[in-house]
Amino acid sequence: MTPELAARLAELGIAPADLLARGLAIHAEPAELALAESNAEGREFLLIPAAAAAWQAMRRAAADQGVEMFLLSAFRSVARQHEIVAAKLACGLSLDQILRVSAAPGFSEHHTGCAVDIGAPGSPPLEEAFETTAAYGWLERRAADFGFHLSYPRGNASGYLYEPWHWRWRA
């Protein structure tokens, strides 16, 4: 663990030993990122080049079968993750509440440039209801063909709540 990451965690009151005891790993930020997608508002979603290509191929394949999906989140820096956790603390949430739904800085799969949060038309973003969409059904059947897998299924060992929208690419 770098001194900078240790300082970020200490500032938030997060004990690294607690995260490691959950089996969570530190994730480094990648050296190179590529544009995976832009949304209608002009927000750019970045992934490592191979994951971006895999996402684009997977999204096209789904669209060819009449299934629409889009990115809600992709690469996220350690600094941005720190901001997210700090904002939740400022709103009065406890660390225990936060760390069941959000990764600590340095421990988010989004830092790798290989993780995506996926949305679908008519489904509220980042909600369990995503599992009822055609996009989720398609992902269950076909995501592995493109190197993606569901990171946090029900009852996952990491201690995170179920996230049907969060998928990670692995070469």
Strand partners, 15: none
Distances in Å between the Cα of 35 and the Cα atoms of 4, 40, 78, 169 are 27, 14, 19, 15
Q: What is the dihedral of CA 150, 74, 55, 49, to 10 degrees?
A: -120
Residue 152: DSSP 8-state = S
Average pLDDT over residues 7-22: 95
Parse the chain into domains and list their residue ranges.
Answer: 1-29+77-112, 32-75+113-170
Q: How many CB atoms lie within 10 A of CB 145?
A: 11
- Yes or no: say if 133 and 120 are a contact pair by the CB < 8 Å rule: yes
Instruction: Tell me the per-residue pLDDT of 99-113, one tens digit each, with 9 for 90 and over.
Output: 999 999 999 999 999
Beta strands in 58-114 (DSSP E): 70-73
pLDDT at 11 over 90: yes
- Yes or no: say if 143 and 54 are a contact pair by the CB < 8 Å rule: no
Q: Which of 127, 123, 118 is nearest to 146 (CA)?
A: 118
> d(Cα 168, Cα 146) in Å, to the nearest integer?
10
- Yes or no: say if 108 and 14 are a contact pair by the CB < 8 Å rule: no
The band of 171, judged by pLDDT with boundaries at 50, 70 and 90, is low
Query: Span 32-75+113-170: which CATH code?
Result: 3.30.1380.10
In the chain, the percentage of residues whose pLDDT exceeds 70 is 99
The band of 81, judged by pLDDT with boundaries at 50, 70 and 90, is very high
Average pLDDT over residues 107-122: 97
Average pLDDT over residues 16-40: 95
Confidence at residue 92, expressed as pLDDT on a 0 to 100 scale: 96
Q: How many residues does the chain have?
A: 171
Tokens read off for 95: 């660390």
> Coil, strand, or helix at residue 73?
strand
Amino acid at 129: A
